[in-house]
């Protein structure tokens, strides 16, 4: 059964865009344009822009997240950023994004260690999973995502993921074939995969069968398709890529997410 008050989250992944000179103003504009009750908003700029964005949204309820985090707290890892280093700069982090898997050859086991490091440091963590086009066309989408979840979470203490924080741990389902390719997933396709994700979370041993874990959709999310995904009761928001750099797009996406949040609040009364 769907929990009516599972959090609704919209997280913007700015990827390798913006500089410290312009990130603050963009963050201020987005924060002002997306004030919607019931929607958790997170902005994830590049590392060098974290301080600028933190300062820009300091008087708002917009959270700041990192795009990645190292699996060790300290060490001889040139160019890496650890969870303790993010203290005071970010309260969220993304791990396992498809571009990190592709470009940095990150394995599920390594990503699982990042989950442990992030949660151990108190960072709210969004774990990304998703299949390639060849896997979907061959009917292997569910098996691939299932394998990713087991690979990332088998060594993680389920009780340490969310604990008492309903926002402590989230999943972002990102079908890789729908990111920047012009091909779009359908809402029903995403909902089917979200159901499969919850089944796997239950098998791994998460509390309440994983039903309390927010699952976001992240595959070229835009104002033109957000309604299709937010209309699915099992989907709890979106991980937004390129559209998160455009205030008009973010305003429309968060506004639609707000309708879902309002409906869940009404259902809980």
**Residue 124 has which token pair?**
């709210």
Q: Which domain holds residue 216?
A: 8-16+83-268
Strand partners, 217: 173, 238
- Is residue 51 a part of any domain in this protein? no
- Is residue 28 a part of any domain in this protein? no
Task: State how far Cα 26 lies from the chain centre.
Answer: 20
- Is residue 183 a part of any domain in this protein? yes
- Report how far residue 83's alpha carbon sits from residue 47's, in angstroms, rounded to the nearest whole number: 12
Give the pLDDT score at 153: 95
Can you tell me whether residue 86 is helix, strand or coil?
A: helix
User: Which of 99, 106, 131, 174 is flagged as catalytic?
Assistant: 174
User: What is the Rg, in whole angstroms, of the alpha carbon atoms belonging to the chain?
Assistant: 17
- Is residue 193 a part of any domain in this protein? yes
Give the pLDDT score at 188: 93
User: Which of 70, 97, 232, 249 is flagged as catalytic?
Assistant: 97
Give the pLDDT score at 161: 85
Percentages helix, strand, coil for the chain (3-state, rounded to 5) are 45, 15, 40
Give the pLDDT score at 92: 98
Give the pLDDT score at 182: 72
Strand partners, 240: 12
Give the pLDDT score at 180: 72
Task: Determine which helix (DSSP H) or strand (DSSP E) holds 158, and give its type and residue range.
Answer: helix 158-161
**CB contact at 8 A, 27 and 45:** yes
Give the pLDDT score at 11: 98
What global pTM score does this model have? Answer: 0.96
Tally of structural domains, the chain: 1
Task: Determine which helix (DSSP H) or strand (DSSP E) holds 64, and give its type and residue range.
Answer: strand 63-66
174 classed as catalytic: yes
For residue 173, what is the DSSP state?
Answer: E
- Report how far residue 184's alpha carbon sits from residue 250's, in angstroms, rounded to the nearest whole number: 18
- Report how far residue 151's alpha carbon sits from residue 129's, in angstroms, rounded to the nearest whole number: 11
**pLDDT string in tens for the chain (269-residue length):** 444 489 999 999 999 999 999 999 999 999 999 999 999 999 999 999 999 999 999 999 999 999 999 999 999 999 999 999 999 999 999 999 999 999 999 999 999 999 999 999 999 999 999 999 899 999 999 999 999 999 999 888 887 787 789 999 999 999 998 887 777 789 999 999 999 999 999 999 988 888 999 999 998 899 999 999 999 999 999 999 999 999 999 999 999 999 999 999 999 88
- Give the number of other Cβ atoms within 10 Å of residue 89's Cβ: 15
Give the pLDDT score at 3: 47
**CB contact at 8 A, 90 and 125:** no
Q: What is the CATH number of the domain that holds 107?
A: 3.20.20.70
Give the pLDDT score at 2: 42
Can you tell me whether residue 63 is helix, strand or coil?
A: strand
DSSP count for the chain of H helices, then E strands = 10, 8
Dihedral angle computed from the Cα positions of residues 77, 93, 100 and 220, in that order, rounded to the nearest 10 degrees: -160
- Is residue 90 a part of any domain in this protein? yes
97 classed as catalytic: yes
Can you tell me whether residue 127 is helix, strand or coil?
A: strand
- Is residue 21 a part of any domain in this protein? no
Cα 194 to Cα 110, 167, 213, 232, distances in angstroms: 23, 17, 11, 10
- Report how far residue 73's alpha carbon sits from residue 49's, in angstroms, rounded to the nearest whole number: 21
- Is residue 162 a part of any domain in this protein? yes
**Angle (deg, nearest 10), helices 20-33 and 247-268:** 40
- Is residue 117 a part of any domain in this protein? yes
């Amino acid at each position: 059964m769907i929990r009516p008050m599972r959090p609704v989250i919209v997280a913007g992944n700015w990827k390798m865009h913006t500089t410290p000179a312009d990130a603050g103003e963009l963050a201020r504009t987005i924060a002002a344009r997306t004030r919607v009750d019931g929607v958790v908003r997170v902005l994830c700029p590049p590392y060098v822009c974290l301080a600028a964005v933190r300062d820009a949204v300091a008087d708002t309820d917009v959270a700041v997240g990192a795009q990645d985090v190292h699996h060790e707290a300290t060490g001889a890892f040139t160019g890496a950023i650890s969870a303790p280093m993010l203290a005071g700069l970010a309260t969220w982090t993304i791990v396992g994004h498809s571009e990190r898997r592709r470009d940095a050859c990150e394995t599920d086991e390594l990503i699982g260690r990042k989950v442990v490091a992030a949660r151990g440091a108190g960072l709210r963590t969004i774990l990304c999973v998703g299949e390639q086009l060849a896997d979907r066309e061959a009917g292997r989408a569910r098996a691939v995502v299932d394998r990713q979840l087991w690979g990332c979470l088998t060594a993680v203490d389920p009780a340490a993921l969310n604990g008492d924080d309903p926002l402590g741990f989230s999943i972002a389902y990102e079908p890789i074939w729908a990111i920047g390719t012009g091909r779009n997933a359908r809402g029903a396709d995403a909902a089917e995969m979200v159901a499969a994700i919850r089944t796997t979370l239950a098998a791994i041993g998460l509390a309440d069968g994983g039903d309390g874990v927010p699952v976001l959709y992240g595959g070229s999310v835009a104002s033109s398709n957000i309604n299709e995904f937010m209309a699915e009761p099992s989907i709890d928001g979106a991980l937004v890529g390129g559209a998160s750099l455009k205030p008009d797009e973010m305003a429309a996406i968060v506004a639609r997410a707000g309708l879902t949040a309002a409906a869940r609040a009404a259902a809980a009364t």
